[in-house]
Amino acid sequence: MTPIKTALALSAACAAMLASTGASAALAVGAKAPDFTTRGALAGKTFTLTLSHQLKKGPVVLYFFPKAFTPGCSAEAREFAEHIADFQKAGATVIGMSGDPVADLVPFSTKECAGKFPVASAGPDIVKGFDVALPMREGMTNRTSYVIAPTGRVVFVHSEMSYAGHVKSTLAAVQAMQAK
């Protein structure tokens, strides 16, 4: 096998391994979510987002995604947008987070999020605080969804690189909180 073919085979094996394993989230249920302030976009407009301010309104679904405008991340954003009324009915705010710069999130907030919920830029401190760094992919986050109670405590975590199941599981978690 030539060096190029060997390198390609190794890259493909690493990609397959990464895709077939779940993401890991360090914040366990019961952990205090780190507060942060960052820039975000909603319906194409930029703004400053502070987690503690959002928690004053009720529970927050904080979902991290690897990269705007990639197939899985776009599908996940569209699915959250389709169900935003259900989250609102349960009293929850949905916020998407990625390592993308705000300039990339502005069009994403309009096209994929349909202007229904904000997306924000997760800088290195946020990525570290929530332990969502994607191994071997500088500046990208894994796909982890947190449900955070108004107290700032994590009440549910779904960490899996496939976008399938994130919306359904986080919605069930906020609906269960509402039922209590």
- For the whole model, what pTM was predicted? 0.85
* Average pLDDT along the chain: 87
Q: Give residues with Cβ within 8 angstroms of 25, minimum separation 6.
A: 130, 131, 132, 142, 144, 146, 157, 159
Q: How far apart, in whole angstroms, are the C-alpha atoms of residue 89 and residue 84?
A: 9
| The residue type at 125 | D
- The pLDDT score that the predictor gives to residue 1 is 47
Residue 174 sits at the vertex; the CA angle it makes with 64 and 48, to the nearest 5 degrees, is: 45
- The pLDDT score that the predictor gives to residue 178 is 87
Q: pLDDT tens digits, residue range 107-163?
A: 999 999 999 999 999 999 999 999 999 887 878 899 999 999 999 999 999 999 999
Q: What is the mean pLDDT of residues 40-68?
A: 97
- The pLDDT score that the predictor gives to residue 142 is 93
Residue ranges and CATH numbers for the domains of the chain are: 23-179 (3.40.30.10)
SS3 32: strand
SS3 19: helix
